[in-house]
Amino acid sequence: MSRKATGWIVSLAFVVIVGGMLYTFTGRVISTDLSVIGEGRPVAVLAFESYSPQGMQAMDQINIIRDDFEDRLTFRIASIGSPDGDRFVARHGIRDGILVVLGGDGEVLDMWGVVGDTATLARKLNTALE
C-alpha cells in the first residue's frame, strides 16, 4: 500500500474514532443553529466549549432529560469559538456551561449554570416554561 493511501486511511480512522467518542460522551447531537430563537417556540441554549468539564456536565444532564421536554422546548448549543456561538455568549454575558432559556419571542426567561442533578434541571426548566 502506498504512503498516500496509508495516510488517508489513518486520517479517516481518526475522524471516525473522534466522532464516535464525541457521540458517546455527549449523546445525541444538539444543533448549533441559533436562528430558531424568537421564531415562536421556547429555546434552551447551552453555552458550550468542547474541552470544558462544565459544558460536558451540562450537556450530559440535558441529554438525560431532553426527551421529557422536546415537545415544549427546542434545545440548541452556542458553540464557543464559532461566530454565532461567540455572539450569543457576548450578547448574554455568559460563559461555558450556562443554560439560557428564551421564550418564543426570544426574550430571556431564565439562565443558570450547571446544576447538581437532572431533577433540579427539570424543575428549573419547568419553572422557566410556566
CB-side neighbour CA atoms (13 Å) of 129: 16
Mean pLDDT over residues 21-25, rounded?
A: 46
Cell numbers at 69, concatenated = 421536554
DSSP-based three-state secondary structure for 31: coil
Mean pLDDT over residues 109-119, rounded?
A: 89
More confident residue, 99 or 26: 99
Residue 28: how many CB atoms within 10 A of its CB? Answer: 10
Mean pLDDT over residues 49-76, rounded?
A: 91
Predicted local confidence at residue 50, as pLDDT? 85
Predicted local confidence at residue 21, as pLDDT? 44
pLDDT band with cut points at 50, 70 and 90 for residue 9: low
pLDDT at 5 over 80: no
Cell numbers at 100, concatenated = 439560557
Read off the amino acid at residue 113: G
pTM attached to this predicted model = 0.77
| Angle ∠(48,55,15) on CA atoms, nearest 5 | 70
Residue 69: how many CB atoms within 10 A of its CB? Answer: 18
